[in-house]
Structure formats: structure tokens, C-alpha cells
Amino acid sequence: MEVETTADRGDARDFAAGIVSRLGRGVSWLTLVMVVLTFGIVVTRYGFNQGWIWMQESVTYLHAMVFMIAAAWAFQTDDHVRVDIFYRDKPDRYKNRVDLIGTVLFLIPFSLFLLLIGWDYVTASWGTLESSPEAGGLPLVFLLKSLILILPVLLLIQSWSKVRRCISALRRS
């Protein structure tokens, strides 16, 4: 089921959803880059007996970016993993209530907790400009670890949008 969000309709009132949508759509293109890069790694390794650590690490970096940045977009478009045995056949009022409670009681506290425990880890990495321990690896581990903070920030932005939308829908019904 394709869910049309206010960001998809161009609703200027939901700036937060627009940010999440644009970032999610943009980063989704990195999956194509990952496929091409992985193909190149396989061809160079098995066809030419060559391999570069930086290429292999690039796939890991791209995968992390896609997962961590697009998670909020998947939540926005309702494409996230959910056990919806008791959800799918229910009326919209019930769904909005469940989404509101789930977001406020679980997603927001989880995101805040992730920010709290990840902050020192990421700042320590930035403090040393941490790089790959592998010879020939990418010197950007500190950027990769920054995704640990970007994920909860984007989830909080989308949570704000989701809570507003659920409350509005519940008031209308």
C-alpha cells in the first residue's frame, strides 16, 4: 500500500516530513551505486586478481548510509517492518491511536536513548578523526560513526511529523 504523505503532496506546513522524504529519496539512489560498486569489486577480484580495501569499505559505508538515513523515510511511508496482525484490518482511528502511542512510548524514547549513548562514541571518533585500521582503507570512520547520531535525529524529526498527523486525524474523527 502506497501511503501519500503531506511531504509527497508538497504541503509546506510539514517541513519536517519534507526533509525526511527528500533525504530518503536521495539516499535510495545509493543502492544503485552499491550494486555497481559490488559488481566492480567482483570483476576486479576474480577477473583481474586485484582488490582494493577502499572499494570494499565503500560498499559498507554506502550500505550504512542507506539503512541509517532511509529508516525515517521508511517510517514515513509506512514501509517499515511491523507485525500488523492486529493492525491491518482496523479502522483509521485505531491505526492513528496505535501509531501515536507507539511513536510516543517507544520510538521517541529509543531515539533519545540512542542519541544519549552514541554521543560520546561519535565525538571521540571525531576527536581523533578516526580512520580505517586497514592499510588502504578509507580515512572516514568518524563520518561513518556520525550516522549513529543522524539516525535518531531523523527519526525524531519524522516522529514529530507523525505525532502531529495522528493527533490531527484523531481530532477530525
Helix, strand, coil percentages in the chain from 3-state DSSP, rounded to 5? 70, 0, 30
Amino acid at residue number 145: K
- In this structure, what is the dihedral angle of CA atoms 23, 109, 87, 25, given to the nearest 10 degrees? 0
Alpha-carbon distance 90 to 25, whole Å? 29
Q: What is the DSSP string of 149-173?
A: HHHHHHHHHHHHHHHHHHHHHHHH-
pLDDT digits (tens, 9 = 90+) for 98-125: 889 989 999 999 999 999 999 999 999 9
pLDDT digits (tens, 9 = 90+) for 47-82: 999 888 999 999 999 999 999 999 999 988 877 766
Q: What is the pTM of this model?
A: 0.81
